[in-house]
Amino acid sequence: MRRNNKSAISQNALKETLLFTLPALICVIIVIYIPFVMAGYYSLTEWNGISKTPIFIGLENFKTIFSSGSPEFLNAIAFTGKYTMLFVVFTNIFALGIAVALSKKFRLANFLRGMFFVPYIMSMIIVGFIWKFIFTQGFEKLYEFTGWNIWALSWLGDDKLAFWSVLFVGVWQSLGFYIVLYIAGLKSVSTEVLEAASIDGATGSQCFFRVTLPLLGPSITTCIFMAVTNSLKVFDIIQALTKGGPGGSTYSATLDIYREAFQNNRYGLGSAKALVYFVLVLILTQLVLKIFERRDVDL
């Protein structure tokens, strides 16, 4: 009887679990998987998004991408790769440094943690428009007040400065998220290990680089992986700040896909670009995971 009761309870629990997860599963299928399959079909067609029947053209869209017929997409991928590399480096270095400072016990520690996290919960578009106002009118007022030439530079109009402006805003907006992850990792480091290292004569910097930093391996892996995936999807900030300009110097892959499909009305070519970019992102993220998983094991 007891076994029958246990099996009945487990079956009811399984049914309840499936019942509660079914709405979320349906939403994921509708929002993600069905559009993904449709994008695969449209990538083999020539369609403007208006006509009822797309024209099947096979692999012509992919041939266009990898030939000289789509240089913008290849340049956009190059920009995205450069942005991703610098975003990952700056975000993790600054976040780790600030997390180490904020993990100390002082009066304003919790307040400062909240202040750093506030930009992350804001909309990327809103952040972009705020900084666009700062780069233009805000810096103009600072130049009138101080006379410093740095405020008179065209931070969004110069092709070299625009890249660094976009990168700065991206790092500033997301910094709080990585700070929280690093603080959680620092809190999990055993104080006994640090005390033992200090007793053995290790200095503060030696304790950090030879004890704390290796023990932060899982946190570093998580932060780098999240930074890679988030930077590869950069779109909102660029759309709000520069719209890909000046002269295509801040033209990202996601922005090119968006314009191809929704502004140029070439949904087939846009879908093909999205699939190619999906494969590139998948390969890159898997390589990052493999590299840092091996590092964590060695530690």
Residue 172 CA to residue 116 CA, distance in Å, equals 9
Tokens of 10: 């487990």
Residue 179 CA to residue 67 CA, distance in Å, equals 42
Domain assignment present for residue 227? The answer is: yes
Domain assignment present for residue 190? The answer is: yes
- Report the number of distinct structural domains present in the chain: 1
Mean pLDDT of 106-131: 88
% of the chain surpassing 70 pLDDT: 94
Residue 68 CA to residue 125 CA, distance in Å, equals 33
**Element counts in the chain: helices (H) and strands (E):** 15, 2
Neighbours of 77 (CB within 10 A): 18
Mean pLDDT, the chain, integer: 86
Residue 229: pLDDT band by 50, 70, 90 thresholds?
A: very high
Identity of the amino acid at 182: Y
Lowest mean pLDDT among 33-42, 103-112, 166-175, 236-245: 103-112
Domain assignment present for residue 104? The answer is: yes
| Higher pLDDT pick, 294 / 272 | 272
Residue 202: pLDDT band by 50, 70, 90 thresholds?
A: confident
Mean pLDDT of 39-48: 90
Residue 211 has a pLDDT of: 84
CA end-to-end span of the chain, whole Å?
A: 51
Residue 37 CA to residue 246 CA, distance in Å, equals 35
Residue 4 has a pLDDT of: 55
pLDDT(265) > 70: yes
Residue 34 has a pLDDT of: 92
Q: What is the CATH number of the domain that holds 218?
A: 1.10.3720.10
Domain assignment present for residue 19? The answer is: no
Residue 210: pLDDT band by 50, 70, 90 thresholds?
A: confident
Q: Which pLDDT tens digit goes with each residue over 182-193?
A: 999 988 888 888
Domain assignment present for residue 31? The answer is: no
Mean pLDDT of 192-215: 81
Residue 99: pLDDT band by 50, 70, 90 thresholds?
A: very high
pLDDT(252) > 60: yes
Domain assignment present for residue 112? The answer is: yes
Q: Which pLDDT tens digit goes with each residue over 21-40?
A: 888 889 999 998 998 999 99
Centroid of chain to Cα 68: 29
Domain assignment present for residue 187? The answer is: yes
Domain that includes residue 236, residue range: 72-298
| Higher pLDDT pick, 296 / 259 | 259
% of the chain surpassing 90 pLDDT: 39
Lowest mean pLDDT among 13-17, 105-109, 184-188, 294-298: 294-298
Look at residues 299, 175, 293 and name the one whose alpha carbon lies nearest to residue 231.
175
Domain assignment present for residue 20? The answer is: no
Residue 298 has a pLDDT of: 45
